[in-house]
């Protein structure tokens, strides 16, 4: 049954064993009481009782093995889940690092382009140019100023 690896089946089997052990112990006490009432030899009752207790002890050892197997299975499951979480966090960290590196590269390129534009007197794209300054004379509104405009 342990080979199947089914946690539910092992838990069910463990519960059934516990129930059986409890019932067997209750029946042992009832039979022991009947033997005492029947005034059987106390040595025979003790021998019989020891044999039953030995079988109950073996059954309890099996329950202990099942409990240990279940604890181990639960530890392995929680370790597997933790490893999956760590793997996810590692991938997330790597993705963040990749994006951060790309962002820093873009920022660095923009800074270099800006610095280059300042040194060349133009913009980073090279599409901007300095235009000559226009001098605009004032118009007074007199007839003599009309020909200039």
Q: Tell me what pLDDT residue 120 has.
A: 64
Nearest CA to 92 among 104, 81, 100, 80?
Answer: 100
Q: For residues 68 and 29, what is the distance between their CA atoms, to the nearest angstrom?
A: 29
In this prediction the pTM is 0.55
| Angle between the N-to-C axes of helices 7-37 and 42-120, in degrees from 0 to 180, rounded to the nearest 10 | 160
Domain ranges of the chain: 2-86
Terminal-to-terminal C-alpha distance of the chain: 107
The predicted structure's pLDDT at residue 26: 94
- Residue 32 half-sphere exposure toward CB, CA atoms < 13 A: 17
pLDDT in tens, the chain (149 residues): 666 678 888 899 899 999 999 999 999 999 999 999 998 898 999 999 999 999 999 999 999 999 999 999 999 999 999 999 999 999 999 999 999 999 998 888 888 877 776 776 554 455 677 888 888 777 777 777 677 66
Cβ-proximal residues to 53 (8 Å cutoff; 6+ apart), any chain: 28
């Amino acid at each position: 049954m342990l080979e199947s690896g089914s946690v539910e089946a092992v838990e069910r089997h463990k519960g059934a064993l516990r129930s059986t052990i409890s019932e067997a112990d209750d029946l042992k006490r009832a039979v022991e009481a009947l033997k005492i009432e029947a005034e059987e030899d106390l040595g025979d009752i003790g021998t019989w009782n020891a044999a039953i207790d030995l079988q109950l002890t073996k059954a309890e050892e099996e329950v202990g093995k099942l409990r240990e197997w279940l604890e181990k299975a639960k530890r392995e499951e929680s370790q597997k889940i933790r490893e999956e979480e760590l793997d996810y966090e590692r991938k997330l960290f790597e993705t963040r690092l990749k994006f951060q590196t790309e962002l820093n590269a873009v920022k660095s390129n923009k800074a270099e382009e800006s610095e280059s534009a300042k040194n060349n007197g133009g913009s980073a794209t090279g599409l901007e140019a300095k235009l000559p300054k226009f001098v605009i004379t004032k118009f007074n509104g007199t007839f003599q100023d009309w020909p200039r405009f």
